[in-house]
Amino acid sequence: MNYREVTTTGEYVARLETGADWREEIETFAADVGAAAGWFSAIGSVEDAEIWFYDQDDKEYQSVAFDEPLEVAACVGNVSHLDDELFAHTHAVLSRASGQALAGHINAGTVFAGELYFRAFEQPLDRTRDETTELDLWL
């Protein structure tokens, strides 16, 4: 196990911009407040979504796209550095009008409305390729 203590430099709430990309909005926000890293939760809705699922045998992401309005019933993730850029690792449970749930790693989604809670950390988190999982994990 790899762990460290982190120091909070600030707690924020933000409204995500309609029409923007859900994940990019979080990354832009983190850069705007000068966060080295952070942890977040968010709720709202999107006009569409691209969800990734990591195939543990093939060690590749499978992508599935939904071109329909979805509620972001619960979104949680963190911001770290990947290839020298801030990256929002974003997971969510999305729901359809019927209440049916979809869930996974959110690569993209067009914001309809979004409310973000963000806790910024003083210590950076850096990702690097892990040989076993072939994922970009924290150092």
Find the shortest distance in angstroms from Cβ 91 to Zn ion: 6
The interface mask with Zn ion, positions 29-68, x = CB under 5 A, is ----------------------------------------
**Among 6, 105, 115, 127, which residue sits at the site for Zn ion (rule: CB under 5 A)?**
105
Find the shortest distance in angstroms from Cβ 98 to Zn ion: 25
How many chain residues are in contact with Zn ion, going by CB under 5 A? 1
Judged on CB neighbours under 10 Å (0-12, 13-18, 19+), 137 is middle
Reduce the DSSP state of residue 64 to 3 states and report it. Answer: strand
Residue 81 or 105: which CB sits closer to Zn ion?
105
Measured over the CA atoms of residue 17, residue 21, residue 23 and residue 28, the dihedral's sign is negative
Q: Which stretch binds Zn ion (CB under 5 A): 14-22, 25-33, 103-111, 118-126?
A: 103-111
CB 110 within 8 A of CB 45: no
Find the shortest distance in angstroms from Cβ 106 to Zn ion: 8
Question: Which residues of 3-121 form beta strands (DSSP E)?
Answer: 8-16, 37-55, 60-66, 70-82, 85-95, 101-121
Residues engaged in binding Zn ion (CB under 5 A): 105
